[in-house]
Chains A and B, each alone.
Chain A
Amino acid sequence: DTGVSQNPRHKITKRGQNVTFRCDPISEHNRLYWYRQTLGQGPEFLTYFQNEAQLEKSRLLSDRFSAERPKGSFSTLEIQRTEQGDSAMYLCASSSTSGRTDTQYFGPGTRLTVL
């Protein structure tokens, strides 16, 4: 069990550019979540996958955001035409079905700075 990994750890981009982040979940975890966290706030849910199916998307996830999880393994989160308001920590978590609810294990996050 190597934990959830995310790449890159830091990303600085200029407004209007596209960025893509990758999350590798704990192996055999069938659920994968994306969250956004800003300073002084808790993680905000963005979307989640069960295997390769994207089951729910937050209204926070505008048309500029897209997430994929091909083959139910790693996931990517892409932000198109970045805005300064997109600056945040993007966290990924994974879990496996275990009883009545899941324990979500978080990765170290990707810190995005939009200049």
Chain B
Amino acid sequence: QQPVQSPQAVILREGEDAVINCSSSKALYSVHWYRQKHGEAPVFLMILLKGGEQKGHDKISASFNEKKQQSSLYLTASQLSYSGTYFCGTETGSNYKLTFGKGTLLTVNP
């Protein structure tokens, strides 16, 4: 089952904050966040694991609500380089297989 991301798109001015949400109808084992710029490969940002473990980017924070099967990615003091499409990939068991959402297009303007 594909996770649902919201919003579908967001436009910010430099320095503003944004929150991107990812929710699943299935119990989650882990959530993986990626950013993809047009024509490029998805770039790893962060992993959140059931039980509270996190691995990833120093300047990006995220939360994982295991009871609600939701994760949120927090982008603070946005920079132009944050522009791109953000994807969450969910793992519903310890099987290394990710199911990705449709993405959230983030545009940061000067």
Residues of A within 8 A of B (CB): 4, 31, 40-45, 48, 56, 91, 95, 99-109
Contact = CB atoms under 8 A, between A and B. Distances in A.
Contacts of B43: 106
Interface of A is mostly: loop
B53 to A, nearest CB: 7
Contact of B41 (A99, A100, A102, A108): A108
Contact of B91 (A31, A41, A48, A101): A101
Interface of B: 2, 29-30, 32, 34, 40-44, 47, 49, 53, 55, 87, 89, 91, 94-103
B94 A100 contact: yes
23 contacts: A40-B103, A41-B102, A41-B103, A42-B2, A42-B89, A43-B87, A43-B100, A44-B100, A45-B99, A56-B95, A56-B97, A99-B53, A100-B53, A101-B30, A101-B49, A101-B94, A101-B96, A104-B32, A104-B98, A105-B44, A106-B41, A106-B42, A109-B41
A109 to B, nearest CB: 6
A108 to B, nearest CB: 5
B33 to A, nearest CB: 11
A103 B102 contact: no
Nearest to B99: A45
Given A43-B42, A108-B40, A103 B97 contact: no
Contact of A104 (B44, B101, B102): B44
A100 B30 CA distance: 9
Nearest 3 pairs of A and B residues by beta carbon: A42-B100, A106-B41, A42-B87
A102 B34 CA distance: 14
Contact of A42 (B96, B97, B102): B102
Contacts of A44: 100
A104 B30 CA distance: 13
Given A45-B98, A45-B99, A104-B98, A91 B87 contact: no
Contacts of A105: 44
Which one of A43, A91, A95, A101 has the greatest number of beta carbons of chain B within 10 Å?
A: A101
